[in-house]
Amino acid sequence: MLALQGDFREHAHVLTELGAHVVLVRRPAELESVDGLVIPGGESSVIDKLSRMFGVAGPLRAAIAGGLPVYGTCAGLIMLADTVLDAIEGQESFGGLDVVVRRNAFGSQNQSFETELVIPELGEQPVHAAFIRGPVVESVGPAAKVLASLPDGRVVAVEQGSLLGTSFHPEITGEHRFHEYFLRKVRARAA
């Protein structure tokens, strides 16, 4: 669990409930001890700055390139995107997902909303999704796969190999299937 900023505690709670051993990653040595990583929602520019300040950005980029399973929600999706639109001056992402994302695509905090999404990879039951100043995936490259879109076609969940990204926050709605899906990726790589 990347624990530099954002709602990492909520993710840690869900992962613990699902039986995972959670390590709060703030330094490169902690990153070396994990089999998978969740990058939480928060403020992507702050996560970027803190990851460089604590020396974890470079090692995390290398780990992603090496196949470390990583799940990013909201700001975490931004951090996994190869290209970020509307980034602040000097903002960098970790990359890895062959997508272009737009920060804060759903507007300000008071424009947050919840909806149901059909995601076949997670079963027949719709996924309850909460969007809070979330990004949207503007385009998906050939290496990435769309998992979910809104009725208007905007892409809000993607995966690419061991990487998973959502524009929304399943950790705050009691929706655990994305975390379960991610943990299957972690266990498969560890085995």
pLDDT digits (tens, 9 = 90+) for 90-114: 999 999 999 999 998 877 666 788 9
Look up 138 and say whether it is catalytic: no
Statement: residue 52 has pLDDT above 70: yes
* Interval 114-146: pLDDT, tens: 999 999 999 999 999 999 988 999 999 999 999
pLDDT in the model for residue 18 = 97
Is 128 a known active-site residue? no
Domain boundaries, the chain: 8-190
Name the strand (E) or helix (H) holding 85: strand 81-85
Asked about 124 being catalytic, the answer comes back as no
pTM of the model: 0.96
Catalytic residue among 11, 159, 171, 175: 171
Set 13, 17, 21, 169: catalytic member: 169
Write down the catalytic residue from 74, 159, 175, 179: 74
CATH of domain 8-190: 3.40.50.880
Reading the block at residue 55, the tokens are 């020396």
Distance from C-alpha of 54 to C-alpha of 128, rounded to nearest angstrom: 35
Residues whose CB is less than 8 angstroms from the CB of residue 45 and which lie 6 or more positions away in sequence, other chains included:
87, 88, 91
